[in-house]
Structure 1
Amino acid sequence: MTETIVDLIRHGEPVGGRRYRGHNIDDPLTEKGWTQMWEAVGDDHPWTQIMTSPLQRCQMFAHRLGERYGIPVAIEPRFKEVGFGAWEGLRHDEVKIDRAHEYRAFVNDPVNQRPQGAEVLADFIKRVTSAYADTVEKYRDQHCLIVAHAGVIRAIVAQTISAPPAGLYRIKISYGGVTRIRHTEAGGVLELLNAKLASRA
């Protein structure tokens, strides 16, 4: 039976602290963010291909990792983070306090109560999962790594376990956390969530 393995790693901590950082915010990683990612992968490099979001908090690490181990890297624009509209760049505490009504509405109904100008959740999920399906098909029988964002990984995990869109933000994705999905003829199975490959050696 053939298997395709896809690992997904969330970027590490970016410059600027905790804020709504969608695809219009392109902060680089902090030194701690780089450390989080290197510690997560350790000396493990089983991948035949690396795919990455175009945003620098993902692709800078992807290219460095690819160069270190001689693994090809491709940028996939559809793996960029969800757009947060009017919340882009705002700190989490700012939104909770200054936009309390909007925040509560979003938490209770993230599908229909989006921030003003935010990407429609269904559109986001469609673009991410179509990119993911293309990746799985193109690299069939291989072991790939996708360097991406919390929202992107949530969308892929939710599709894998048949969770509804309303539950997306109930999936915690940690900085530098590794998720693994194993695909067989029977479909995809979620094997790891927020793991460190280095600790599994």
Structure 2
Amino acid sequence: MRGVRADPGAAARAAARLTVARRLVVEADGGSRGNPGPAGYGALVRDADTGAVLAERAEYLGVVSNNVAEYSGLVAGLRAAVAIDPSADIEVRMDSRLVIEQMRGVWQIKHEDMRRLARLASEIVDPARVTWTWVPRAQNGAADRLANLAMDRKTSHVSDVAAPPLGRAPRPSGAGVRFDDEQPVTVVLVRHGQTTMTVSRGYSGSGVPGPPLDETGVRQAHAAADLVDRVGRDLWGDIPYPSLVIASPMVRTQMTGSIIAERLGLPVRTDPTFQEANFGDWEGLTSEQIEERWPGQLEPWHTQANLRPPGGESIEDVGGRVRRGLEGLLAEGVDRTVVVVSHAVSIRAVLGVTMGAQPSSWSQLRVAPASVSIVRLFEDRRNEVAVVGAPSEGWGGRP
């Protein structure tokens, strides 16, 4: 019987068939203020398994139609995805049913500019590797934000996010002095963005859900999310990339936490331990109104630390509460980074507890809207404050 000649490429082809392709998600949007009018697009690429943002694209297009802007966002998103991994399977998510159905071949494309862009999209990546998904507008907020930024600023934006480094950078110059390899839990503290109460300088505590972020606050939250996403990448390379997002139950912190969590590809865990101080009967009042109704009590509340507003918490009460929260995070494990979205008084308390400072001095710490502070908690309690404060739009205001 004649032997059968072996095919040297058979094994490789069989292995290739068994290889699972990487999955990427492209989110794209476009808009035109006037249709046609000043237009721009936004697109981003996520890892399908983790939700992490890998690339962002935005561009001002001049005067074009809304549909052309949407198609332009699609093309930019596909190009970014192919640049990350040419062999990846891609899911496109857009809130334009027109673009999705036309790219699926269900609806005809009549406009020549749109036909040209659709052909270009099909040439960028094999259509057989693309899944087309329509999503409600509310689920396409990240791409919509990029498109609006492009239109507002009449500029372009390109961001390719490097993966977290495989190795940990050495402890940097200026870090707390240690002579061991003990690893802490790192807590990235983010104050919520601006609200109407921030602007009015009212005391907005945990006794009520509180107001939502205003437009400036939303922009601040996105800026904070961009900064937090750099932890463990090109900033603070000795710190692990965040693996958990916690937010106080107030509306403003939930909104800020959701924006940060979306950027990191993580869910949000709600924890009332890190909610704002309960101001009791002072809720919603300005410092002038509090002084008028309770003469001589507001300043001692900040500096004597054990004075409670009627029906509210003292600074010491807040300190005890956040101390328990920090101990819980430490008990859950070290060598990880947790993002905690909280409030001015509570963040001051976390910083004060970490430094071992007296509660009467905590009010000297300035915690601006959407600012970022980092504390590192070691099991031997030789804790470290890594940084306090980070640039953000529109700093100022009351808790």
TM-score above 0.5: yes
In 2, Cα distance between equivalents of 1:61 and 1:27: 12
Normalised by the size of structure 2, how large is the TM-score? 0.46
Q: Please identify, of 181-190 and 22-31, the stretch whose mean Cα deviation from structure 2 is larger.
A: 181-190
Q: Which structure 1 residue ranges, 5 or more long, are not aligned?
A: none
Matched, 1:167 2:361: yes
1:29 matched to 2:226:
no
User: Structure 2: 5+ residue runs without aligned partners?
Assistant: 1-180, 230-240, 393-399
1:71 equivalent to 2:266? Answer yes
Tell me which residue corresponds to 1:4: 185
CA offsets 1:47-105 (integer angstroms, 9 cap, x no match):
11101101111012212322333113211111111111111110223224454423344
- 2-structure distance, mates of 1:189, 1:140: 14
The correspondence for 1:151, drawn from 345, 358, 368, is 345
How far apart, CA to CA, are the structure 1 residues paired with 2:326 and 2:303?
Answer: 28
CA RMSD of aligned residues (A): 2.1
Give the letter for the 2:201 counterpart.
Answer: R
Task: Give the number of aligned pairs.
Answer: 196
> Which structure has the larger Rg over C-alpha atoms?
2
| Aligned mate of 2:223, from 33, 36, 39 | 39
Inter-partner Cα distance in structure 2 for 1:106 and 1:77 = 22
Alpha-carbon distance in 2 for matches of 1:180, 1:5 = 7
Q: 1:116 to 1:185 in 2, by over 3 A?
A: closer
Q: Percent identity?
A: 28
Moved more, 77-86 or 66-75: 66-75
Question: Using CA pairs below 8 Å that are at least 6 residues apart, which structure has the higher relative contact order?
Answer: 1
Cα drift, residue 29 of structure 1: 0.9
- Partner secondary structure for residue 135 of structure 1: helix
Provide the C-alpha distance between the structure 1 equivalents of 2:227 and 2:299, rounded to a whole number of angstroms. Answer: 43
SS at match of 1:166: helix
Equivalent residue for 1:13?
194
| 2:259 maps to 1:61 | no
**Partner residue of 2:389 out of 191, 194, 200:** 194
Q: Report the CA distance shift for 1:7/1:108 in structure 2 as closer, same or farther (over 3 A).
A: closer
Shift of 1:185: 5.1
Q: What TM-score results when the alignment is normalised by the length of structure 1?
A: 0.87
Task: Report the more deviating stretch, 57-66 or 75-84.
Answer: 57-66
- Relative distance call for 1:184 and 1:125 in structure 2 (3 A) is closer
5 Å-filtered alignment, 1:90-129, equals 90-112=285-307, 114-129=308-323
Report if aligned partners of 1:41, 1:196 keep a CA contact under 8 Å in 2: no
